[in-house]
């Protein structure tokens, strides 16, 4: 994880043979703290923005998967207030 970013994209293991890419937020120690409930939506209003998003999302494939069981909620639920708590803790 880039220490300058409060989140990045990671492969999340839902079961032995089921993986998705989710946006993951980190705590102040750099540990995964929360994940968006839904996998990343690869869509955008422009090809340029879609390309940028896809490059960032593809970076998830260069990191080890995170087991969804790591998070206390299952399925993981995220909200704006949860994200703001994480951002304030940085």
Closest by CA position to 63, among listed 2, 6, 11? 11
Question: Is residue 51 in some structural domain?
Answer: yes
Confidence of residue 76 (pLDDT cuts 50, 70, 90): very low
Question: Is residue 76 in some structural domain?
Answer: yes
Question: Is residue 85 in some structural domain?
Answer: yes
Per-residue model confidence as pLDDT tens digits over 31-68: 898 999 899 999 999 999 999 999 999 999 999 999 98
Closest by CA position to 42, among listed 52, 30, 54? 54
Question: Is residue 1 in some structural domain?
Answer: no
Give me the DSSP letters along 10-65.
EEEEEETTEEEEEEEEE-TTS-EEEE-SSPP----SSHHHHHHHHHHHHGGGGS--
Question: What is the domain count for the chain?
Answer: 1
Question: Is residue 53 in some structural domain?
Answer: yes
pLDDT score of 66: 94
Q: Which domain holds residue 83?
A: 7-89
Question: Is residue 2 in some structural domain?
Answer: no
- Residue 83's Cα: distance from chain center in Å? 11
């Amino acid at each position: 994880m880039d220490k300058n970013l409060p989140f990045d994209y990671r492969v999340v293991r839902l079961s032995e043979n089921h993986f998705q890419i989710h946006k993951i937020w980190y705590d102040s120690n750099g540990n995964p703290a929360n994940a968006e409930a839904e996998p990343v939506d690869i869509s955008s209003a422009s090809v340029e923005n879609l390309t940028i998003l896809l490059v960032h999302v593809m970076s998830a494939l260069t990191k080890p998967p995170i087991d969804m069981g790591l998070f206390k909620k299952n399925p993981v639920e995220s909200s704006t207030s949860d994200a703001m708590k994480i951002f304030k803790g940085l």
